[in-house]
Amino acid sequence: MARIINKDTIVCMSLSARPSNFGTRFHNFLYEKLDLNYLYKAFTTNNLKDAINGIKALSIRGCAISMPYKQACIEFIDELDASVQSIQAVNTIVNTDHYLKAYNTDYIAVEKLIKANNISNKTPFVLKGSGGMANAVIGAFYDAGFKHGIVCARNQQKGEALAKRYHYQWQKDESNITPEQAKLIINVTPIGMQGGSEANQLAFRETIINHADIVFDVVALPVETPLIKYAKNLNKTIISGADVAVLQAVEQFILYTGVTPSEELIQQAGEFARQG
């Protein structure tokens, strides 16, 4: 029996430049299975300030924040959780009685994936990107004790600032990176993202991928980006954006509802979300 929306239905949402169905399908699947009177809808905006103020004014319970709003939204938030204060990037807003508190569940997800994949903190890594998600990822690696890292970013100002914050190196591109410096490679750019101008491109040069041991692509859609496909054919250890998406979405779900789904339901919700 389909759920019926009524005046008491609690609304959650997402804000992204390129809205996808992943969060919408994931959260609504769990609302239905757990018989929760919630509804989730994805949005984009051309006025971030008004969108955030609208969350407060309309009593929207929660909002997922994606590129390119993860840092720009901070000035409109009432309180920052410790996970945001350390990395200065938001991916989740929780509205309690018209008071907005920001979290970063991306950070929590990456932290869990480092442990789950038994990645040694002695592994040298190269991270490509310098936006809000890059802050969350590199912050998790830094806090896990990784000492040897390079931030590879075309935007020198943002790339250098990110690298300096965590005592890593910055390079504009991969031209001077050696295989020994890139045993773990991490893509935190839109390269390979479905619907983007670089959807069919590899995020790293083939020579870099060939010599890496671990390949981590934060892009969630498609599930298998060009980088993931290429690395899979080489039998590399792979962490996908879909892995991050599920883990961070679960943390958001708990923040919004106060309910912790079973592992079985989480797996089902993840599979359902990836089909959309």
Element (H, E) at 95: strand 92-95
Out of 70, 128, 183, 236, the active site residue is: 70
- Helices 241-257 and 22-33 cross at an angle (nearest 10°) of 50
Q: Answer for the pair 11, 27: CB distance below 8 angstroms, yes or no.
A: no
**Cα–Cα distance, 276 to 180 (Å, whole number):** 39
Is 56 annotated in the active site? no
Handedness of CA 26, 108, 163, 80 (dihedral sign): positive
Half-sphere exposure of 76 (CA within 13 A, CB side): 22
Cα gap 95→218, rounded to integer Å: 27
CA 114 to chain centre: 14
| Active site residues per annotation | 70
